Amino acid sequence: MSPIDWAMRPLKKYADFSGRAPRAEYWWFYLLTVVAYIVAMILDSIVGAGGAGGFGLLSIVVMLGLLLPSLAAGVRRLHDTDRSGWWLLIALVPLVGAIVLLVFWVLEGTRGDNRFGPDPYSAELAYA
């Protein structure tokens, strides 16, 4: 799969919190999200709509539009490492929570099937 295909998968699975997301899917989508935020903030500043912190109307729309797929991709990424999606709540712990989540998201996923589904890199799912 191409990087664009990986980045678009979470948008196709907009609110799907089940299954697993391999590292490629999560991190390419994360890059797409960051680029979308930057473009929206630049466009907001060009039209003079940038408010506090550079967020204007377009930035807020992009942020809200990508919130649910970002949460779903994060949960599926945790599932790939055989962890419950409830681990996302550790982000509420200042600094430490973000570091723990980053480590979980960077780790290699479980090889083979786990309790959340089949291996996303298996041959039968590679082109799904």
Q: Which residues constitute the domain of residue 47?
A: 3-106
- The mean of the pLDDT values for the chain is 89
Answer whether residue 29 is part of any domain: yes
- Surface-to-core class of residue 52, CB atoms within 10 Å of its CB (0-12 exposed, 13-18 middle, 19+ buried): exposed
Q: What is the mean pLDDT of residues 77-102?
A: 95
Q: Tell me if 79 sits within 8 A of 85, measured CB to CB.
A: yes
Q: Tell me if 77 sits within 8 A of 106, measured CB to CB.
A: no
Looking at residue 55, what is its pLDDT? 75
Answer whether residue 61 is part of any domain: yes
Answer whether residue 27 is part of any domain: yes
- Reported pTM: 0.87
Angle (nearest 5°) at CA 12 between 6 and 18: 90
Answer whether residue 113 is part of any domain: no
Looking at residue 89, what is its pLDDT? 96
Cα separation values, 1 from 9, 25, 32, 36, 128, Å = 11, 10, 16, 21, 10
Looking at residue 124, what is its pLDDT? 47
Looking at residue 54, what is its pLDDT? 65
